[in-house]
């Protein structure tokens, strides 16, 4: 009976726990070992769990402890002077750099640094920390309290938000005329760290404005302000929190808000990937929170790639897609990320010329939608253009896009017609 109950609960909540462990551990074999230990411990303890609705949080608690045991068993004694300035959080999707934390630690007294390093980064308990330092447990607690206070006072959230960042520039009401010219050259490789669909790099100190511009009128229809406001942790995964405010919006994301919509993201940038970890917004006076553990509720709107692995930060030609003039060919498979660099282009906008790579995206976020994104050598988007399949959202609009926007550019994607709808640019180019 317990076995049947366990298997039923595991079918319901197991995928979330699996995602959690795979995000925490550095390799797939290690994750699978920890998952086996987690499930075995859960099965043994199941008779003590009376409320089946609490199974998910209970199982996640076991998984969290097993992950901590895995790291504790492999920790090495590292002299304080050898601790790197840039802290790295490792996982299956790369290493996340935490420079603000490391920089703050360097400004603290040596006693504080050593205590915080043992307790938070090496995961020792108060008792273990006391043994390591040769002091009473009560002394550890009082010193931790003082060290945390000094860390909060030294942490440069507001200073780093402003340091080295230009004040956000006003977006024009009409998009400046632009030209796009294909170059007879291979696409260059670059590091592309922008958050998929939102153009901001999830790193402390970043802020950005972007605007959507209707085609063919060129008039701004919506704009947004984004700012990284500080570090954040979601289910033990470290990232940064981003505050986003959209103006003149439609209710694209079913928040119940138009004209002005506020939301918060937690995103993670590693040395190989960039991805969302969580999203929250208000609707009818209630805050809705979604994380990478919430399956389709999160993945369908904010996830990118298998198991929300995120967008690759190394931008290079893969050979998945091909483009010749206005014809694009290649396999459309959102789960495998039908996104590729398809050519080298010179983009001139506002009197400035940019050497760019054109990144084609076929239905990675939305069925029947294609986009072309022009990314420069700095890894920043110069211009982003959206195209709708001719029958996209026909039930909503009642007409094909070729009839609604007869003058707009067409793309042929595997023989189907896609119609240019709008452009997106940010204050990066102004």
The predicted pLDDT at position 76 comes to 38
pLDDT above 90 covers what percent of the chain? 37
pLDDT at 258 over 80: no
Reported pTM: 0.67
The predicted pLDDT at position 280 comes to 93
pLDDT at 141 over 50: yes
The predicted pLDDT at position 104 comes to 65
- Say yes or no: do domains 82-155 and 178-429 share a fold: no
The second-level CATH assignment, the architecture, of 2-74 is Orthogonal Bundle (1.10)
Q: Quick one: pLDDT band at residue 2, thresholds 50, 70, 90?
A: low
Torsions phi, psi for 234 (to 5 deg): -125, 115
Domain ranges of the chain: 2-74, 82-155, 178-429
Read off the pLDDT of residues 79-95 as tens digits, 9 standing for 90 and up: 333 333 344 445 555 55
pLDDT at 164 over 80: no
Mean pLDDT of the chain: 81
pLDDT at 64 over 80: yes
Confirm or reject CATH 1.20.1290.10 for domain 82-155, answering yes or no.
no
pLDDT at 74 over 90: no
* 251: its two tokens: 């209710």
Round the CA-based radius of gyration of the chain to a whole number and report it: 24
pLDDT at 71 over 80: no
Could you give the CA distance from residue 313 to residue 280 in angstroms, rounded to a whole number? 25
The predicted pLDDT at position 123 comes to 60
Q: Which CATH fold topology does 178-429 show?
A: YmcC-like fold (2.40.360)
Q: Quick one: pLDDT band at residue 331, thresholds 50, 70, 90?
A: confident
The predicted pLDDT at position 169 comes to 54
26 vs 357 pLDDT, higher one:
357
The predicted pLDDT at position 96 comes to 54
Read off the pLDDT of residues 365-409 as tens digits, 9 standing for 90 and up: 678 899 999 999 999 999 999 999 999 988 888 899 999 999 999
């Amino acid at each position: 009976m317990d076995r049947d109950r366990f298997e039923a609960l595991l079918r319901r909540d197991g995928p979330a726990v699996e995602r959690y462990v795979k995000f925490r551990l550095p390799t797939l074999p290690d994750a699978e070992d920890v998952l086996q230990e987690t499930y075995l411990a859960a099965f043994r303890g199941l008779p003590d769990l009376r409320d089946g609705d609490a199974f998910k949080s209970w199982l996640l608690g076991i998984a969290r402890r097993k992950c901590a045991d895995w790291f504790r068993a492999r920790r090495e004694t590292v002299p304080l002077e050898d601790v790197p300035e840039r802290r790295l959080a490792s996982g299956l999707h790369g290493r996340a750099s935490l420079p603000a934390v490391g920089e703050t630690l360097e400004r603290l007294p040596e006693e504080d640094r050593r205590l915080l390093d043992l307790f938070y980064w090496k995961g020792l308990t108060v008792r273990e920390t006391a043994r390591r330092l040769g002091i009473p447990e009560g002394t550890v607690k009082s010193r931790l309290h003082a060290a945390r206070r000094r860390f909060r006072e030294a942490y440069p959230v507001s200073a780093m938000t402003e340091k080295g960042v230009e004040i956000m520039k006003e977006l024009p009401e009409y998009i400046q005329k632009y030209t796009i010219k294909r170059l007879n050259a291979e696409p260059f490789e670059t590091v592309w760290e922008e958050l998929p669909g939102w153009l901001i790099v999830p790193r402390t100190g970043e802020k950005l404005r972007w605007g959507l511009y209707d085609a063919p009128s060129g008039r701004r229809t919506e704009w947004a302000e984004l700012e990284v406001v500080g570090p954040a942790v979601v289910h033990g995964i470290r990232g940064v929190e981003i505050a986003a405010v959209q103006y003149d919006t439609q209710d694209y994301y079913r928040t119940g808000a138009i004209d002005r919509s506020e939301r918060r993201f937690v995103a993670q940038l590693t040395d190989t990937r960039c991805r969302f970890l969580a999203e929250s917004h208000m609707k009818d006076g209630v805050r809705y929170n979604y994380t990478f553990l919430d399956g389709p509720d999160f993945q369908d709107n904010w996830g990118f790639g298998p198991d929300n692995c995120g967008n690759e930060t190394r931008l290079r030609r893969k050979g998945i897609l091909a483009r010749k003039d206005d014809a694009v060919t290649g396999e459309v498979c959102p789960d495998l990320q039908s996104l590729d660099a398809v050519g080298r282009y010179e983009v001139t906008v506002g009197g400035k010329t940019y050497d760019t790579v054109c990144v084609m995206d076929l239905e990675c976020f939305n069925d029947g939608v294609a986009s072309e994104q022009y990314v420069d050598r700095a890894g920043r988007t110069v211009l982003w253009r959206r195209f709708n399949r001719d029958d996209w959202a026909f039930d909503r609009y009642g007409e094909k896009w070729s009839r609604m926007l007869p003058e707009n550019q067409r793309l042929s994607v595997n023989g189907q017609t896609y119609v240019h709808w709008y452009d997106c640019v940010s204050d990066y180019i102004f």
